[in-house]
Amino acid sequence: MKPDRLSSQPAAVGIDRLVADIRTGHFERSLSALTAVGALVTTGEIFLAHDGASFGNRMMWVPVVLGPVGAAAGVAGFLSARMAKTALPVASAMIVVNGLQGTYLHARGIGQKPGGWANARYNLEMGPPLLAPLLMTMVGGMGLLAAILRRER
């Protein structure tokens, strides 16, 4: 390990660096920014998938609307400690709830295909993607985690 320029101690690398960033509060801002990016990327994918299904159910619009809200809260949390503790957890909690709701709705959609769950092998491939809404849930979870982490001074 090479010594850090400001101290005689070796610079932390790998998992030690991550742990140090969490202890010092550097990771909170990074996770807020990652939440913003993840929300935008996931929203784009959701929009394309739901557009392919012609937005057949009005509920398909909810994650498309919540994504930019989560992205804005992530950017605000990156820039402001106050927003990281107020807006980010609220937006992230809504995203988590919607992701879990989407998982239920996708499971219900698979069950409504011909043969329902008895024909699961086919319906899992041809129906709505069962686990895809959990990606949005994970983005919301990142925002919630960022909100509870210590902020750098």
Q: What is the pLDDT, as a whole number, of residue 8?
A: 62
> Are the C-beta atoms of residues 103 and 133 closer than 8 Å to each other?
yes
Phi, psi torsion values for 100, nearest 5 degrees: -65, -40
Q: Give residue 11's pLDDT band: very low, low, confident or very high (50, 70, 90).
A: confident
pLDDT tens, 112-148? 999 999 999 999 999 999 999 999 999 999 999 999 9
pLDDT band at residue 5, thresholds of 50, 70 and 90? low
d(CA 141, CA 138): 5
**pTM summary value:** 0.86
Q: What is the pLDDT of residue 21?
A: 79
Residue 3 phi/psi, 5° resolution? -70, 145
Task: Round the average pLDDT of the chain to a whole number and report it.
Answer: 92
Residue 2 has pLDDT above 70, yes or no: no
Count the alpha carbons within 13 Å of 84 in the hemisphere toward its beta carbon.
Answer: 24
Of 7 and 136, more confident? 136
Name the region of 33 (left: φ>0; alpha: ψ -120 to 50; beta: rest): alpha
Residue 25 has pLDDT above 90, yes or no: no
Q: Where in the chain are the domains?
A: 15-148
